[in-house]
């Protein structure tokens, strides 16, 4: 799980999770 070109969903989930965490922190 340390590849730069994986299937994709994992990296996107990490990015989305960070944005969601930021949004929750803003409220």
pLDDT digits (tens, 9 = 90+) for 1-27: 556 555 667 788 889 999 999 999 987
pLDDT at position 24 is: 93
Residue 23: alpha-carbon gap to chain centroid: 13
pLDDT at position 23 is 94
Secondary structure (3-state) at 20: helix
Q: Is the pTM of this model over 0.85?
A: no
The answer to whether the CB of 25 falls within 8 A of the CB of 16 is no
């Amino acid at each position: 799980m340390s590849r730069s070109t994986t299937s994709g969903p994992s990296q996107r989930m990490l990015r989305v999770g960070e944005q969601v965490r930021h949004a929750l922190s803003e409220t």
